[in-house]
């Protein structure tokens, strides 16, 4: 037993935030990475080691402290994250306040609709998984807050406590997931939209312990976004659906699919697309955390999954989310492979369809 005073948990007021108050960087000309050097020299010439973890997604940079980046390095890093999907750093001394400062250099920080008294700041979240936890953050393949009218552009996560082993996080490239689709299917989904919804958060208002609460009681957590969106910095096409928040695809007419078949077609297509991302191992990267490791990922160009394979051990991390732009599709945009954005060309498997000719993802073996 100690005589330390009890920890006073933060308690933020419940509040209603109108959709019109959400930040949209495309209207304010504040897109992170717009002022970057295309070669990212201020960033990459300062590192002591660069490790590309896969040709498509994921790079580990050594020799930099995120707490000491120059303004140009921050811009170059924003572009690099947009291109590589997720970038990793180890042995970082960055504090939560500096983590927030870095995030704010790229845009306003997101205030999550679920408030928790354990959160250190209103616009930062603490994830602490212990033996007593019933759930853990990051379950299932997802893109952070895709249910918002203006979703996140990127996330900054620092892990401050790690289990002896386990607790890895896996990211998937939604650039590459789009590239793996057949040309015929790409054409079908280009004009479709999908409903993103987070009604599961409404249960927070019924928390009998009072540890969680809703900050936005009057805002519906539903919004339509294009199934294929364009990245505002790279200009590459993104497959923008995820298992956690995308509820159904819209866009088929009754004449195309029939009165009753329409919902079946939309449901089957959504399941195929989300499973396509979840099961495409060649578009993924897996990261083994160490204490004080940091990951910065693009929430437009990736999805991720946090593994909970370390029970009964603890894992603790702190995260900030940066708000981006309202998703849109530019019909003139190209895919990552079309633009030459991957380190290598597409493997032959991607260039064969079901009958062995043409291009696109091979549907069966």
**Would you please indicate which residues are annotated as catalytic (active-site) residues?**
142, 144, 304, 319
Neighbours of 51 (CB within 10 A): 11
Cα(148)–Cα(66) distance, integer angstroms:
28
Cα(363)–Cα(365) distance, integer angstroms:
7
DSSP 183-229: HHHHHHHTT-EEEEE-GGGGGGGG-TTSSEEES-TTS--EEEEESEE
Neighbours of 318 (CB within 10 A): 23
CA atoms within 13 A on the CB side of 212: 12
Extract the tokens encoding 161.
Answer: 């406590």
DSSP letter at 80 equals H
CA atoms within 13 A on the CB side of 138: 24
The answer to whether 141 and 304 are in contact (CB under 8 A) is yes
C-alpha distance from residue 3 to each of 6, 7, 9, 224 (Å): 9, 12, 18, 53
C-alpha distance from residue 327 to each of 12, 191, 300, 346 (Å): 30, 13, 9, 27
The answer to whether 147 and 245 are in contact (CB under 8 A) is yes
SS3 of 161-183: the string is ECCCCCCCEEEEEHHHHHHCCCH
């Amino acid at each position: 037993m100690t005589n330390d005073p009890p920890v006073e948990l933060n308690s933020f007021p419940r509040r209603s935030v109108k959709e019109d108050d959400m930040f949209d960087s495309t209207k304010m000309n504040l897109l992170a990475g717009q002022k970057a050097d295309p070669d990212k020299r201020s960033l990459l010439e300062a590192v002591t080691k660069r490790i590309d973890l896969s040709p498509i997604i994921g790079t580990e940079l050594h020799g930099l402290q995120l707490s000491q980046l120059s303004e140009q390095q921050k811009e170059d890093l924003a572009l690099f994250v947009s291109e590589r999907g997720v970038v990793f750093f180890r042995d970082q001394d960055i504090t939560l306040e500096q983590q927030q400062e870095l995030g704010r250099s790229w845009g306003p920080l997101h205030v999550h609709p679920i408030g928790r008294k354990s959160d250190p700041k209103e616009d930062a979240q603490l994830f602490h998984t212990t033996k007593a936890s019933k759930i853990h953050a990051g379950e299932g393949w997802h893109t952070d807050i895709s249910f918002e009218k203006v979703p996140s552009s990127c996330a900054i996560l620092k892990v401050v406590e790690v289990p002896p082993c386990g607790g890895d996080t896996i990211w998937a490239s939604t650039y590459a997931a789009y590239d793996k689709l057949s040309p015929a299917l790409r054409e079908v989904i280009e004009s479709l939209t999908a409903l993103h919804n987070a009604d599961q958060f409404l249960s927070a208002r019924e928390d009998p312990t009072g540890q969680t609460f809703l900050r936005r009681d009057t805002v519906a957590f539903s919004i339509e976004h294009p199934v294929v969106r364009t990245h505002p910095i790279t200009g590459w096409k993104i497959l923008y659906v995820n298992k956690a928040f995308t509820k159904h695809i819209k866009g088929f007419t009754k004449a195309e699919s029939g009165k009753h078949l329409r919902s079946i077609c939309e449901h089957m297509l959504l399941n195929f697309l989300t499973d396509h991302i979840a099961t495409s191992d060649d578009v993924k990267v897996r990261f083994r955390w160490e204490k004080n490791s940091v990951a910065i990922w693009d929430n437009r160009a990736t999805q991720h999954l946090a593994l909970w394979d370390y029970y009964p051990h603890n894992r603790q991390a702190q995260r900030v989310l940066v708000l981006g732009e309202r998703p849109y599709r530019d019909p003139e945009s190209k895919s990552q492979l079309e633009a030459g954005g991957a380190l290598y060309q597409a493997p032959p498997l991607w260039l064969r369809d079901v009958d062995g000719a043409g291009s696109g993802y091979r549907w069966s073996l």
